[in-house]
Amino acid sequence: MSTASAERAASAAARAAGTEANVLVRMTGSGEPEQHIVRAGGPRPTAGKGKVVVEVQAAGVSYAEVQMLQHLHPFPPKFPFVPGYDLVGTITEVGPGVTGWKKGDRIAAMPRQGAWQRYVELPAKTLAAVPAELDAAVAVSLVTNGVTAYQMLHRLTKLAPGRTVLVHGASGGVGALLTQLAVHHGLRVIGTASPAKHDTVREFGAEPLDYRTPDLVQAVRRLAPRGVDAVFDHIGGSGLDAAWKVLVEGGTLVSFDSSVAGYRPGQWFRPHVPALRRTVARWFTRHLGLTGGRRMTMYYVKPGPDFNADYTELCRLTAEGVLRPQIAGRHPLSGAAAAVRALLDGATVGKHVLIP
């Protein structure tokens, strides 16, 4: 027997016996993924008080890891750490004091880091249930991206059908789901994307627009002369002023990141200053009655009862075929650097997922 097949046989036997060691991915510093994203071994966790151990079936690769790698994340962890914003898996061990969950239950979670490993210990109170029949990669694409899209649409802006919205990055992980949800809700969607992805945006039922269009305000007004009822923006910087200008009276600008404008390595907070400044200024001017009822708000996804309820609804909409989450690539843990590289290159549509 070769060394590789002996290792595989030993790993399968250990997995069956429940004694398998952990396999994980570490981010060791900022720079290129090929240099700083490494696969390693480690001890398998045990479940502490109020916690469970989960065997990961799929872990998401997200823009947050790109930002962490480039030292551009607003809440940067200290290197080295195990990245991985969200995951879907099966509970293998339940710690003392845990109620409502048992071994074998299928769950989703958004620990923000630590998902890129085979076994992970998680607080039981942060878990959401996942239907048995849903593909693990699809299920994980609905966790952070799906709940973000759902909550911005249905908990923040709460628009009635028939209204018009502008979704930036309509071909991206969040934007694609937001666009599909909005179209399903009966909204007209103008979705920005690079021209190569305009057909994808059309397939979602939206009207594509190149985000590099020199005068975005004019371009939006040509499509929607009275303006739009909401803008969903992850770009930040001065683009927020263009977004504000295309809003109708009473419209809402949702800023959910500042991922493009003004980024310099090491200055992880500076890109967010323009969004914060504008949000505070517009809060005051709105309360002085000077914004025509327009408002600007910032959004950040967090676990909790709303998260769980909205995730359940997203699973239902997917099972019914309303949502069609796209999976750009399924990678083993050893392919984590390649998955981040693919996200950085921006050529793919849909979610990159690690399958431990």
Ligand X SMILES: NC(=O)c1ccc[n+]([C@@H]2O[C@H](COP(=O)([O-])OP(=O)(O)OC[C@H]3O[C@@H](n4cnc5c(N)ncnc54)[C@H](OP(=O)(O)O)[C@@H]3O)[C@@H](O)[C@H]2O)c1
CB of 256: closest distance to ligand X in angstroms? 4
State the DSSP string of 145-185: IIHHHHHIIIIII-PPTT-EEEETTTTSHHHHHHHHHHHHT
257 binds ligand X (CB under 6 A): yes
- Interface residue with ligand X among 57, 117, 148, 180 (CB under 6 A) is 148
141 binds ligand X (CB under 6 A): no
What's the 3-state SS for 231-260? EEECCCCCHHHHHHHCEEEEEEEEECCCCC
With vertex at residue 246, the alpha carbon angle to CA 217 and CA 323, rounded to the nearest 5 degrees, is 100
Q: What residue number has its CB nearest to ligand X?
A: 172
Which C-beta is closer to ligand X: that of 85 or that of 119? 85
CB 195 within 8 A of CB 210: yes
259 binds ligand X (CB under 6 A): yes
CB of 246: closest distance to ligand X in angstroms? 14
Binding mask 261-300 for ligand X (x = CB under 6 A): --------------------------------------xx
172 binds ligand X (CB under 6 A): yes
CB of 101: closest distance to ligand X in angstroms? 25
CB 239 within 8 A of CB 263: no
Binding mask 211-230 for ligand X (x = CB under 6 A): x-------------------
CB 62 within 8 A of CB 85: yes
- Burial string for 207-242 (b: 16+ CB within 10 Å, else e) reads bbbebeeeebeebbeeebeebbbbbbbbbbbebbeb
156 binds ligand X (CB under 6 A): no
Q: Which residues bind ligand X (CB under 6 A)?
A: 62-64, 144-145, 148, 168-169, 171-175, 192-194, 197, 211, 234-235, 256-257, 259-260, 299-301, 343, 346
